[in-house]
């Protein structure tokens, strides 16, 4: 406890509040305007007001909200990307108003199930599987980390109801729809055409495409290296690494795509000369904003959406060009492992699960092909 004079009739009052769960010293400080006797009286009032927390905090006193703050500060910020940390904070902004004030040793699977029911309703309509699973995953990660820190003995979320995946068929273009798209691209800018052709050929994610440099393309071997993923969170660019370690990959592009890239590079070099006064690009990006700075991944969606609407094509979003690439490869007889590596999936089982419909259709095509062969043999 201390009362320090700052100026005439102005004092700094400090009340000791013990230590938090991490052993950090806690204090309450107040600047008080008045006489010395009045400052002494105010100090007594503060002691009375905060006496109940003027001790070392015990683990059993920790609430979920306090644990989540420790989790962000001590685990997320030093260890994981800004994008993931931002996602955790967004999820916690929904979770903490419901269970934030509950002590950890009072949180049960029933309480968590009730929370998930409240969260599922949402402010703008019912939340889908992916949104609910992200909330479930955040709770799991926090509780598991608390167990490692020996703050908790068990994870009550493991007995809560896990969100169920809603099976939805992936939307993608077939060969005829791809041809229509490529035909209309001849009327669009070379940048738009190159962006979409590269997405269709490579199956790369939009964040991976926006992170590409010209140095990632080897024109002599027709290979493209994917090592980074560009995301922008609240105006801050995060471009450290790909989605997962398996997402780092080198893929071979078709001759037509390489030719398209070469033409686009020539156009971009000419554009930079004409617009050198406003060109800000310094890192040799393949796809940029008009001033040469990085291109937002969301711009990919905007470009494709504009083209689809302009030419009255079947609805498709930019990520579904990735599904289109996978589906075309599968239906042309490319084996699942090769498709999985091209897409950068961690395991071939992920590819099999996502594109079950395409693999089933491919099996039917194989059977029909055999029938055709047998019919031809009988006529010989």
Give pLDDT tens digits for 342-354. Answer: 888 877 776 766 6
Assess whether 229 and 93 both reside in one domain.
no
Q: Please compute the mean of the pLDDT values over residues 56-73 and round it to a whole number.
A: 82
Assess whether 215 and 350 both reside in one domain.
yes
Show Cβ contacts of residue 97 under 8 Å, excluding neighbours closer than 6 positions: none
Is residue 376 one of the residues assigned to a domain?
no
| Residue 200: pLDDT over 60 | yes
What confidence score (pLDDT) does residue 308 get? 97
Assess whether 53 and 74 both reside in one domain.
no
Assess whether 265 and 347 both reside in one domain.
yes
Give the pLDDT band of residue 1 (cuts 50, 70, 90).
Answer: low
Assess whether 53 and 110 both reside in one domain.
no
Give counts: helices (H), strands (E), the chain. Answer: 15, 8
| Residue 227: pLDDT over 80 | yes
Is residue 247 one of the residues assigned to a domain?
yes
| Residue 317: pLDDT over 50 | yes
pLDDT tens sequence across 104-125? 999 999 999 999 999 998 777 7
> In what helix (H) or strand (E) does residue 205 lie, and over which residues does it extend?
none
Assess whether 98 and 31 both reside in one domain.
no
Q: Please compute the mean of the pLDDT values over residues 139-146 and round it to a whole number.
A: 95
| Residue 49: pLDDT over 50 | yes
What confidence score (pLDDT) does residue 124 get? 74
Assess whether 129 and 12 both reside in one domain.
no
Is residue 378 one of the residues assigned to a domain?
no
Query: What is the C-alpha to C-alpha distance for residues 208 and 192, in angstroms, rounded to an integer?
Result: 16
Assess whether 206 and 338 both reside in one domain.
yes
| Residue 222: pLDDT over 80 | yes
Assess whether 155 and 115 both reside in one domain.
yes
What confidence score (pLDDT) does residue 176 get? 92
Is residue 84 one of the residues assigned to a domain?
yes
Is residue 371 one of the residues assigned to a domain?
no
What confidence score (pLDDT) does residue 368 get? 53
Assess whether 181 and 267 both reside in one domain.
yes
Q: Please compute the mean of the pLDDT values over residues 134-163 and round it to a whole number.
A: 93
pLDDT tens sequence across 149-168? 888 999 999 999 999 876 66
Show Cβ contacts of residue 348 under 8 Å, excluding neighbours closer than 6 positions: 336, 337, 340
Distances (CA, A) of 133 to 116, 127, 137, 142, 263: 10, 10, 6, 14, 43
Give the pLDDT band of residue 56 (cuts 50, 70, 90).
Answer: very low
Domain CATH code at residue 72: 1.10.150.130
Containing structural domain, residue 283 = 175-364
Look at the chain and report how many structural domains it folds into: 3
Sheet holding 217-218, edge to edge: 217-218, 223-226, 249-252
Assess whether 184 and 147 both reside in one domain.
no
Q: Please, what sign has the CA dihedral across residues 307, 310, 313, 316?
A: positive
**pLDDT > 70 fraction of the chain, expressed in percent and rounded:** 84
| Burial profile 85-109: b = 16 or more Cβ within 10 angstroms, e = fewer | bbbbeebbebbeebbeeeebeebee
Average pLDDT of the residues of the chain: 85
Q: Please compute the mean of the pLDDT values over residues 215-238 and round it to a whole number.
A: 88
Distances (CA, A) of 170 to 180, 242, 353: 20, 23, 11
Assess whether 30 and 140 both reside in one domain.
no
């Amino acid at each position: 406890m201390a009362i320090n004079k700052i100026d005439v009739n102005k004092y700094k009052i400090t009340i000791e509040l013990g230590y938090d769960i991490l052993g950090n010293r806690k204090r309450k400080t107040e600047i008080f305007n008045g006489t010395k006797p009045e400052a002494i009286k105010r100090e007594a009032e503060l002691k009375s007001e905060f006496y109940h927390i003027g001790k070392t905090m015990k683990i059993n006193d920790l609430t979920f909200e306090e644990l989540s703050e420790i989790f962000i500060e001590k685990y997320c910020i030093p260890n994981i990307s800004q994008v993931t940390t931002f996602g955790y904070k967004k999820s916690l902004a929904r979770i903490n108003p419901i269970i934030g004030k509950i002590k950890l040793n009072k949180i049960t699977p029933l309480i968590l199930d009730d929370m998930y029911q409240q969260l599922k309703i949402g402010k703008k309509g019912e939340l889908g599987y992916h949104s609910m699973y992200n909330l479930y995953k955040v709770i799991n990660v926090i509780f598991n980390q608390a167990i490692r820190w020996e703050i908790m003995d068990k994870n009550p979320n493991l007995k809560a109801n896990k969100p169920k995946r809603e099976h939805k068929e992936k939307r993608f273009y077939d060969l005829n729809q791809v041809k229509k798209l490529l035909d209309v691209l001849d009327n669009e800018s070379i940048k738009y055409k190159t962006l979409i052709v590269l997405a269709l050929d490579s199956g790369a994610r939009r964040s991976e495409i926006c992170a590409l440099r010209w140095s990632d393309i080897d024109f002599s071997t027709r290979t493209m290296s994917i090592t980074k993923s560009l995301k922008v969170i609240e105006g801050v660019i995060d471009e450290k690494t790909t989605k997962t370690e398996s997402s780092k990959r080198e893929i071979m592009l078709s001759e037509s795509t390489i030719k398209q890239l070469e033409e686009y590079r020539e156009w971009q070099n000419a554009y930079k000369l004409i617009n050198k006064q406003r060109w800000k690009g310094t890192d040799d990006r393949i796809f940029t904003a008009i001033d040469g700075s990085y291109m937002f991944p969301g711009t990919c969606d905007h470009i494709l959406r504009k083209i689809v609407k302009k030419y009255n094509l079947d609805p498709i979003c930019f990520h579904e060009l990735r599904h289109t690439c996978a589906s075309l490869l599968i239906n042309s007889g490319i084996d699942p492992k090769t498709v999985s590596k091209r897409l950068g999936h961690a395991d071939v089982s992920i590819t099999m699960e996502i594109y079950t419909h395409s693999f089933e259709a491919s099996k039917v095509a194989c059977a029909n092909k055999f029938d055709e062969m047998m019919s031809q043999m009988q006529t010989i």
